[in-house]
Amino acid sequence: KQEVTQIPAALSVPEGENLVLNCSFTDSAIYNLQWFRQDPGKGLTSLLLIQSSQREQTSGRLNASLDKSSGRSTLYIAASQPGDSATYLCAASSFSNDYKLSFGAGTTVTVRA
Partner 1 sequence: ETGVTQSPTHLIKTRGQQVTLRCSSQSGHNTVSWYQQALGQGPQFIFQYYREEENGRGNFPPRFSGLQFPNYSSELNVNALELDDSALYLCASRPSGKTEAFFGQGTRLTVV
**Interface ranges with partner 1 (CB under 8 A):** 4, 31-32, 34, 36, 41-46, 49, 51, 89, 91, 93, 97-106
Residue (15 or 98) nearer to partner 1, CB: 98
Residue (12 or 51) nearer to partner 1, CB: 51
On the question of a cis peptide bond just before residue 8, with omega within 30 degrees of 0, the verdict is yes
Residue (3 or 17) nearer to partner 1, CB: 3
* Amino acid, res. 113: A
- Shortest approach of partner 1 to residue 16 CB, angstroms? 29
Residue (12 or 46) nearer to partner 1, CB: 46
- Shortest approach of partner 1 to residue 96 CB, angstroms? 11
- Shortest approach of partner 1 to residue 67 CB, angstroms? 19
